[in-house]
Amino acid sequence: MFIILLGVLCCLIILGFIFREKIMDVFGGGSLRPFTKEELREYDGIRKPQIYVGCKGFVFDVTKSLSYKPGTTYHVFAGLDATIGLAKMSLNPAEFEITEESSLSTSEKATVDQWFNTFKTHYKYPIVGRLVTEAKSKQLSFTSYYYSVSYTHLTLPTSELVQIQVV
């Protein structure tokens, strides 16, 4: 019995190590890029070729899906925080400006949770960022830089390793 539990524990540790980036990103501890609503608007498939959709504080890349391309029904969500629109099953962009999730009914919260789970678990929709306010975006800019430096220095050949001191 002890050997089986030890084996399961080892498997969990190995899986946690393999998927640590995804786990950390989903739970907010990773190096996801912070997006303000203004920055997200650029990723509508017209201004920039990528199509991003915000849902429940996360930003998903939906570029690979034909449903979000310009001229399609779901393109209305492109480059926006679509949480409220998805919850209300509305294609009216005016409703997307409402940002209070607390104003949603129980069934609307369940609906947006289903959409979020679809985005989160679908291989076509990688998580590329977090939705933040302008103030939070400025606060996180050092964190993003720190992560890029810490990962960059690990890729140098052994003879070129440098010491990075954070002050």
DSSP symbols for 59-117? EEE-TT-GGGSTTSGGGGGTTSB-HHHHHTT---GGGGG---GGGS-HHHHHHHHHHHH
Q: Label residue 92 by pLDDT band (50, 70, 90).
A: confident
pLDDT at 148: 36
Inform me whether the pLDDT recorded for 5 exceeds 70. no
pLDDT at 157: 41
CA 15 to chain centre: 21
CA–CA gap between residue 34 and residue 29 (Å, rounded): 12
pLDDT at 99: 65
Mean pLDDT score of the chain, rounded to an integer? 75
